Chains A and B, each alone.
Chain A
Amino acid sequence: GESVGLHLPTLSVQEGDNSIINCAYSNSASDYFIWYKQESGKGPQFIIDIRSNMDKRQGQRVTVLLNKTVKHLSLQIAATQPGDSAVYFCAETPGGSQGNLIFGKGTKLSVKP
């Protein structure tokens, strides 16, 4: 069974609406950040990345915002579709590492048709 504290935060949106998923990262020395999408029973899928010398980066239907002052990262998905339903993880890479990724807790996105 489940234990207290192990419930993933859930964001439920209507199809066509915009989604904003937030992440607080831990290491002020991290210099590279990535958002991943993970569908049930599958490995993480790269969505978008951003380096610490940037505060915004746009992709197709997705935008990542980085606020280093408060160590906050967000993922915006425009015109959310049912296929976007998944768990989203942010990940950070501490500077000077081998590229090791530290994953955040994850947010489950549910898109209602």
Chain B
Amino acid sequence: GAVVSQHPSWVICKSGTSVKIECRSLDFQATTMFWYRQFPKQSLMLMATSNEGSKATYEQGVEKDKFLINHASLTLSTLTVTSAHPEDSSFYICSARDRGLAIYEQYFGPGTRLTVT
């Protein structure tokens, strides 16, 4: 149980276009989902926290108009990178918290590799 999926697993897009990444909790309801970004040989950096039915909370330095997050249901959150540029190329990882578990427990997705050319 407690599986989180991401789609797509990798994507290549041209500079200036937008890309949507989906994060799904497959066998549990996720009241909260988190989005992280990871550059090569670096750690995971939290971008935003998304609660079902409400606006996402963005970390300092993360542009909310560039990284649009929608958490429309208890099993789906989406991250849209708008007007992507090469510096947005990164590994994007989501995690989800089961409403039935402790506040600290998160399950991570497999990540999405974004390359902007």
Q: Which residues of A contact B (CB under 8 A)?
A: 2, 6-8, 32, 34, 36, 41-46, 49, 89, 93, 98-106
Contact = CB atoms under 8 A, between A and B. Distances in A.
Contact of A103 (B4, B6, B43): B43
A99 B93 contact: no
Given A98-B103, A99-B32, A45 B108 contact: yes
Interface of B (DSSP majority class): strand
B97 interface: yes
A6 B103 contact: no
Given A99-B97, A105-B42, 9 more contacts: A32-B104, A41-B91, A43-B4, A43-B110, A89-B44, A98-B49, A99-B106, A101-B34, A101-B95
Nearest to B91: A41
Nearest to A44: B108
Interface string B62-93: 00000000000000000000000000000101
16 contacts: A6-B40, A41-B113, A42-B111, A43-B6, A43-B108, A43-B109, A45-B108, A46-B107, A89-B44, A99-B97, A100-B34, A100-B49, A101-B34, A101-B44, A103-B44, A106-B43
Contacts of A99: 32, 97, 103-106
A8 B45 contact: no
Contact of B104 (A8, A42, A93): A93
Contact-residue bracket for chain B: 20 to 34
Given A8-B41, A106-B43, A101 B106 contact: yes
